[in-house]
């Protein structure tokens, strides 16, 4: 039907001339006459004209990275909740389908809906002699592979195979294969543009003569320490992301074989390990690195510190990856509870209270349960000891402790946190006990708590910022009910150092609490950014 309409649009006179020609019977002529006079038919033809005109127009995206701009605007508005009209916009931008729409825009603008390229290989083997004949059936779609020229030999090589493209689907071509001929026309030694032209213009059955790369056989052999024909040792480490648990500067290390090639590591950094082709120098560097890591492990295993299990990390998607497990089946925003740890008196409660005060619709202190019956400033739900015990036995408590000489049992129920998360709010928790124990029920795959270590500043800054006369002046501002003695400040610094080194593997962010308003602003920015940026979590949480 469309083709017929298109034919009519293309040649408006052809119908007329057909009717006038003597080749049609009178019935056919009458039918065509009625057909061409029909109002609906004319409307359809007009519609075709309009659509054709519209399709001929090129629509260009205003920006290729709308998501970035939106995230920036979202962050800004979240940190400035009092700006006029921002509330509604934040609410709108928070919606998962809004993100999907913007992401879709960017995908179209960047044409990322097509197949993705696999990484460029570093080396190509050239010693093979067996020729492989590959036959592909190619219509209008591209080959799905890029080629490059080996400058030394002039060989035309497959540089990359696009994921999901024709070459990839055929499973017959591999990065590193040398293309010798296309449809029996030799390309070896020719200008790569000629080869590209031949590959792009060829249609139907395309026959390629290729010298296979050895990469395929060596990579499928896999395994640690397999040796390829090039004499290079291939380490069978799959790409992995790990977290650095200690500071390391190669310049301070007298044992490293090549200091210039050493990596500066900072505690908490995320390292991505890729598959390596290891030359002898790199091999010795890697062995050194592994020995170094092992000796670090051995160093600390002598102490009473709890050893973290070896853990790989994974990127957590940003900006509403959306988990379809909301109460109504709708996606839940990817909020994570914020957990503040730190030595006693460092200001965790103060920061938590103030953060919640900046945006009560978004942040909340989780409701505790207790056997206590009288009220306290912080809200809690009174339960019997048996009820709390039942929750503990069912694994529904993130933390439990006693107060008043063991007379009162207190607990943080997991449900209190999940309820807030489901309501689209971020729970801000201040665990009662010391880490790492207090984090066991919070750093779980379902809660994925983000741990902020509130670090005391150096003693002189502590003395300055927590001086009694300052506290009195700031009473109204900070609601400070507690004055710390000098010995408490000293103990805070020592305890802070111990906690930081014992829990390094559990800390996601270190916040120095020197100036309270500055620390609060950093915490608030971090909390909002966490919702829009990538972050790393242990792989087994996902």
Phi-psi region at 448: left, alpha or beta (left = phi > 0; alpha = psi -120 to 50): left
DSSP label of 458:
-
Nearest distance, CB of residue 120 and ligand ATP, angstroms? 50
Structure tokens at 86: 């921002």
Nearest distance, CB of residue 464 and ligand ATP, angstroms? 9
Nearest distance, CB of residue 528 and ligand ATP, angstroms? 21
Q: Which is nearer to ligand ATP, 144 or 347 (CB)?
A: 347
Phi, psi of 445 (to 5 degrees): -60, -30
Distance CA(223)–CA(105), nearest Å, equals 42
Distance CA(225)–CA(292), nearest Å, equals 20
Strand order in the sheet with 535-538: 270-273, 240-243, 313-316, 535-538
Q: Which is nearer to ligand ATP, 245 or 523 (CB)?
A: 523
Distance CA(481)–CA(378), nearest Å, equals 14
Nearest distance, CB of residue 351 and ligand ATP, angstroms? 7
Q: Which is nearer to ligand ATP, 182 or 499 (CB)?
A: 499
- Cis peptide leading into residue 436 (ω within 30°): yes
Nearest distance, CB of residue 431 and ligand ATP, angstroms? 9
Q: Which is nearer to ligand ATP, 276 or 356 (CB)?
A: 356
Distance CA(439)–CA(339), nearest Å, equals 8
Q: How many CA atoms lie within 13 A of 209 on its CB side?
A: 13
Q: Which is nearer to ligand ATP, 136 or 364 (CB)?
A: 364
Structure tokens at 10: 């293309």
Report the largest interatomic distance among the alpha carbons of the chain, rounded to a whole angstrom.
113
Q: Which residue is nearest to ligand ATP (CB)?
A: 347
Nearest distance, CB of residue 377 and ligand ATP, angstroms? 12
Q: Which is nearer to ligand ATP, 262 or 431 (CB)?
A: 431
Nearest distance, CB of residue 514 and ligand ATP, angstroms? 6
**Can you give the binding site for ligand ATP, defined by CB under 6 A?**
342, 344-350, 430, 465-466, 478, 480-482, 513, 516, 519
Nearest distance, CB of residue 364 and ligand ATP, angstroms? 17
DSSP label of 116:
P
- Interaxial angle between packed helices 12-20 and 26-37, expressed in degrees from 0 to 180 and rounded to the nearest 10: 150
Nearest distance, CB of residue 292 and ligand ATP, angstroms? 36
Of 66, 509, 542, which is closest to residue 312 (Cα–Cα)? 542
Q: Which is nearer to ligand ATP, 144 or 441 (CB)?
A: 441
Owner of token pair 């009820």: 387
Of 530, 487, 496, which is closest to residue 514 (Cα–Cα)? 496
Question: Is residue 536 within 8 Å of 316, Cβ to Cβ?
Answer: yes
Q: Which is nearer to ligand ATP, 434 or 538 (CB)?
A: 434
Q: Which is nearer to ligand ATP, 338 or 516 (CB)?
A: 516
């Amino acid at each position: 039907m469309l083709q017929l309409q298109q034919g009519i649009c293309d040649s408006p006179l052809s119908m007329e001339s057909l009717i006038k020609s003597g080749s049609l019977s009178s019935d056919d002529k009458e039918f065509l006459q009625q057909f061409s006079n029909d109002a609906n038919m004319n409307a359809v033809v007009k519609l075709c004209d309009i659509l054709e005109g519209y399709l001929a127009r090129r629509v260009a995206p205003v920006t290729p990275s709308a998501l970035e701009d939106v995230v920036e605007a979202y962050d800004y508005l979240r940190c400035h909740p009092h700006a006029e009209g921002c509330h509604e916009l934040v609410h709108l931008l928070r919606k998962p389908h809004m993100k999907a729409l913007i992401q879709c825009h960017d995908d179209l603008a960047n044409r990322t809906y097509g197949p993705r390229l696999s990484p460029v290989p570093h080396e190509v083997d050239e010693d093979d002699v067996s020729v492989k004949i590959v036959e592909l059936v190619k219509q209008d779609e591209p080959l799905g592979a890029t080629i490059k020229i080996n400058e030394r030999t002039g060989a035309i090589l497959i540089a990359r195979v696009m994921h999901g493209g024709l070459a990839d689907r055929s499973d017959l071509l591999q990065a590193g294969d040398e293309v010798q001929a296309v449809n029996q026309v030799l390309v070896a030694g020719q200008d790569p543009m000629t080869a590209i032209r031949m590959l792009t213009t060829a249609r139907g059955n395309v026959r390629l003569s290729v010298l296979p790369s050895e990469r395929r056989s060596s990579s499928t052999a896999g395994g640690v320490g397999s040796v390829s024909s090039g004499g290079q040792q291939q380490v069978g480490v799959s790409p992995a992301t790990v977290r650095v648990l200690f500071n390391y500067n190669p310049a301070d290390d007298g044992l490293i074989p090549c200091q210039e090639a050493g990596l500066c590591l900072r505690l908490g950094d995320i390292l991505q390990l890729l598959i390596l082709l290891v030359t002898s120098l790199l091999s010795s560097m890697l062995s050194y690195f592994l020995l170094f890591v092992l000796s670090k492990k051995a160093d600390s295993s002598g102490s009473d510190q709890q050893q973290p299990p070896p853990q790989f990390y994974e990127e957590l998607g940003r900006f509403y990856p959306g988990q379809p497990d909301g109460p109504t089946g709708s996606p839940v925003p990817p909020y994570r509870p914020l957990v503040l740890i730190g030595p006693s008196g460092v200001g965790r409660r103060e920061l938590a209270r103030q953060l919640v005060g900046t945006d009560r619709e978004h942040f909340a202190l989780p409701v505790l349960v207790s056997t206590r019956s009288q009220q306290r400033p912080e809200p809690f739900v009174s339960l019997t000891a048996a009820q709390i015990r039942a929750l503990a036995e069912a694994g529904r408590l993130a933390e439990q402790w006693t107060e008043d000489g063991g007379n009162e049992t207190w607990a943080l129920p997991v449900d209190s946190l999940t309820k807030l998360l489901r309501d689209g709010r971020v729970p801000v928790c201040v665990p009662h006990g010391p880490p790492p124990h207090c984090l066991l029920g919070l750093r779980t795959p379902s809660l994925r708590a983000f741990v902020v270590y509130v670090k005391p500043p150096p003693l002189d800054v502590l003395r300055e910022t927590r001086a009694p006369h300052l506290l009195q002046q700031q009473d109204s501002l900070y609601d400070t009910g507690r004055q710390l003695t000098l010995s408490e400040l000293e103990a805070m610094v020592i305890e802070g150092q111990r906690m930081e080194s014992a829990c390094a593997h559990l800390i996601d962010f270190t916040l120095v609490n020197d100036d309270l308003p500055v620390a609060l602003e950093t915490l608030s920015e971090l909390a909002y950014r966490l919702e829009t940026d990538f972050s790393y979590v242990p792989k087994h949480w996902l």
